[in-house]
Amino acid sequence: MSKPSSKFHQIFSRFSRSKPKSTLSESTAESSSGYDAKYGLQVLADQPSEQIDGVDIVAVHGLNGHYIKTWSAESSDSDQHYNWLQSALPQTFPTARIMSFGYDSAVFTRSVADIGDFADQLLHELKIRRSNLRDKNRPVLFLCHSLGGIIFKKALIRAHERDHYKELLSHVRGVAFFGTPHQGSSAADWAVHLFNVLKAAFFNLNINTAPLKDLKNQSERLFQISLSFVDRCNDLKIVSFYETQLSQAEVMCLQELYPCNYEALKNANEERAPGTCEWLLQHAQYQRWKDEENSSLLWVSANAGCGKSTLARFIIDHLEATRHREGPLETICYFFFKEGTSDRDIATIALRAILHQIFLQNKVLMDHILDARNSKGSSILTEFNTLTRVFEKAVSDPRYP
């Protein structure tokens, strides 16, 4: 992206300093507040059509959310609410028209709408808002919380499938996901069971479980949406925010997964002599491998005792030292096999070490190992096939760098 890109990052940095709410739903207590429950695309900060460098920012709330309250926090020194969209963004992005999309995301409702219906409504209303010739040329950025991220993904897929959204689609530049459960949430599983019991007990109770069913852990619909989205998001700038504090279950799972001191195995190899090994960084094959966006293999071979392990240690240390400075953040994993190792389960140990490093660097992916552990217990630590499936799911997850 051009000029809006740097401002987009400033917006994200402001949001990231605030503690996110639940990835599944908003507080039901807040839902009963004095806010007006408007649906549709609401303009919170307008700009004239002739505004130079204008941009549209669209916020989409989550399950049981609200177009204003989701983006608000109570002021510490008064009873007033501080709304990020109305107060913070106009200062950072003075040329932006800021809009918030409201939809009937309540669970206790007569509505039977689902993710597809909400996505269609979002596209339809945004197209109407951008009907002016000058408005049509504005870049569009999305801020999505929880279920709102899934709705955005579905809307992008629908826009690719329908010609009358082609012009709108060409101006969508990026999206920020705030706690979006791309793979579903186990909390939704329990909620669906609970609401089914309530519906059976109270015949007149109006409950819309359609969004909850779509948010169930490992939901087939979520999988299809994510699969289609991956093929259609190459031109977007995507940033995701999640809570980084580990739960007790996640901490325990990481401790169990840790198979051996793999760091010590790496550092047991001799350090390079000054001036050596650096030739590899300039080698054409290494540079092609380093810059390759698709999966590729760098094979380094030599006779025994020529320093392959020392070279491998150097590459790992170099990548770890520079990954925060060179391009997008990468996940770096390693495991050193030692000649003469008698452990029959060395392949399983190596895979556990790789998974341990993946989840340490990408904690949001831990739902994959937790699902396996919840269904099989600690026996998965010795099951190579189960660990392989966990690995495949983790590295194919859209949230994986």
* Closest C-alpha among 211, 202, 92, 192 to residue 151: 211
Any idea what DSSP says for residue 216? B
Overall number of domains in the chain: 2
The reply to whether 104 and 233 lie within a common domain is yes
Pull the structure tokens for residue 349.
Answer: 């140990």
**234 and 286 belong to one structural domain:** no
Same domain membership, residue 268 and residue 182: no
Do 292 and 166 belong together in one domain? no
Given a cut of 70, the residues of the chain with pLDDT beneath it are 1-37, 75-79, 107-112, 183-219, 243-244, 324-329, 340-344, 401
What pLDDT, on a 0 to 100 scale, did the predictor assign at position 328? 54
* Same-domain pairing of 273 and 299: yes
Which residue in this structure is represented by tokens 């995507």? 238
Structural domain includes residue 401: no
Q: What does R_g of the chain's alpha carbons equal in angstroms?
A: 24
Token pair of 82, please? 């501080």
Q: Based on the fold, state whether residues 290 and 168 are members of the same structural domain.
A: no
Out of 222, 243, 264, a domain closes at 243
Quote the pLDDT of residue 345. 77
3-state DSSP call for residue 325? coil
Could you tell me if residue 194 is inside a domain?
yes
pLDDT score of 183: 66
The predicted pLDDT at position 65 comes to 86
Alpha helices per DSSP H over 162-219: 166-169, 186-201, 210-214
Instruction: Indicate whether 211 and 132 sit together in one domain.
Output: yes
Question: pLDDT tens-digit profile of 160-179?
Answer: 999 999 999 999 999 999 98
Residues 68 and 210 in one domain: yes
In sequence order, the 6+-apart residues with CB closer than 8 A to the CB of 386 are 372, 376, 380
Distance in angstroms (rounded) separating the CA atoms of residues 73 and 208: 27
- Residue 12, exposed/middle/buried by CB under 10 A (0-12, 13-18, 19+)? middle
Question: Is there a domain that residue 22 lies in?
Answer: yes
* Within a domain: 186: yes
Same domain membership, residue 187 and residue 48: yes
Residue 105 lies in a domain: yes
pLDDT at 320: 86
- Among 328, 18, 277, smallest CA distance to 145 is for 18
Is residue 301 situated within a structural domain? yes
CATH code, 109: 3.40.50
Residue 197 confidence (pLDDT): 42
Of 243, 273, 294, which one is at a domain's C-terminal end? Answer: 243
User: Same domain for 17 and 90?
Assistant: yes
Given 220, 243, 266, the domain boundary residue is: 243
pLDDT of residue 342: 57
Q: Which domain holds residue 219?
A: 3-243
Q: Is residue 206 classed as helix, strand or coil in its secondary structure?
A: coil
Provide the angle, in degrees to the nearest 10, between the axes of the packed helices 384-396 and 367-376.
150
pLDDT at residue number 244: 64
- Give the model confidence (pLDDT) of 183-194 as tens digits: 665 444 434 444
Q: What is the pLDDT of residue 240?
A: 84
One domain, residues 212 and 83: yes
Find all residues with CB under 8 Å of 396, minimum gap 6, and list them: none
What phi, psi does 297 have (nearest 5°)? -120, 130
Residue 38 lies in a domain: yes
Q: Are residues 237 and 302 in the same domain?
A: no
